Structure 1
């Protein structure tokens, strides 16, 4: 009885080990196949990715004078209205506004960052799913801020 139990245990162990190794082989084959397919595609630039994504557009008023540090500008915006918001992002910052921490490069060329003041109205475009803190008001920074311009 003990011999048959031992033999059965050994066979089951071997079967499980071979099944695990086969799934790893299949996963590596699938990943190598998908990587070869992705290598055949033309490389996309970051700007073309931003243009093809469904971005969200908003309008709001500057709540306080923007803070400028080197190439980074911190703008607190309140009274935010959604112009185009398919993801429902506006619900995250409706009552308290939002803080945008953006590079000077995302500002429209017609905007002089140094001249921005409390009460100025801005349009801003965010990526489809922006990286946002859970603070009040939420903060959005980095590549999530696509463009900031004066309201039309």
Structure 2
């Protein structure tokens, strides 16, 4: 008799838990669509704010550019902010900063001879750019939108 009661109790508990799990999914589906619509609108607003928060800095090439296949390295000094809402230029000391980019990120057709020591270049950075703590600091191409000579 105890065995039948125990078996019946286990069966009832299993049915109740399966029923509860099944009904929980339908309630979450409705609420997840509400959550995703909120996420979509916040993603759109953050995308527009990223465009507004791009920083533009300029500096003088300390040496000729270094080309390694499709990758180009610029070492710039005397960095100053042109449109720098995050004041990134203030965080770069007199040693300058190294910009590591793909040649396609340089405006126009890239020619290493066009970028020589002493030339001023303008760099457009993404919002919250990544920068190493090395000396001089380095900014990878993922944080650089474009580079153009002045």
Fold match (TM-score > 0.5): yes
> Does the CA-based 8 Å contact 1:63-1:77 persist in structure 2?
yes
Between 67-76 and 109-118, the greater mean CA deviation after superposition: 109-118
Q: In the aligned structure 2, how far is the partner of 1:83 from the partner of 1:120? A: 16
Which 5+ residue runs of structure 1 have no aligned equivalent?
1-24
Contact 2:58 2:80 in 1 (8 A): yes
- SS of 2:59's equivalent? strand
TM-score (norm 1): 0.67
Over 3 Å counting, the alpha-carbon distance change for 1:75 and 1:28 in structure 2 is farther
Does the 8 Å CA contact 2:61/2:76 hold for their aligned counterparts? yes
Long gaps (5+) in structure 2: 1-24
Decide whether aligned partners of structure 1 residues 75 and 30 sit closer, same or farther in structure 2, where only a CA change above 3 A counts: farther
* Secondary structure of residue in 2 paired with 1:117: coil
- Give me the CA root mean square deviation: 3.1
Note if contact 1:104-1:113 (Cα within 8 Å) is conserved in structure 2: no
The alpha-carbon deviation at position 35 of structure 1 amounts to: 2.5
User: Which consecutive segments of 4 or more residues in structure 1 shift more than 2 A?
Assistant: 25-39, 48-53, 110-115
Q: CA deviation at 1:110?
A: 5.6
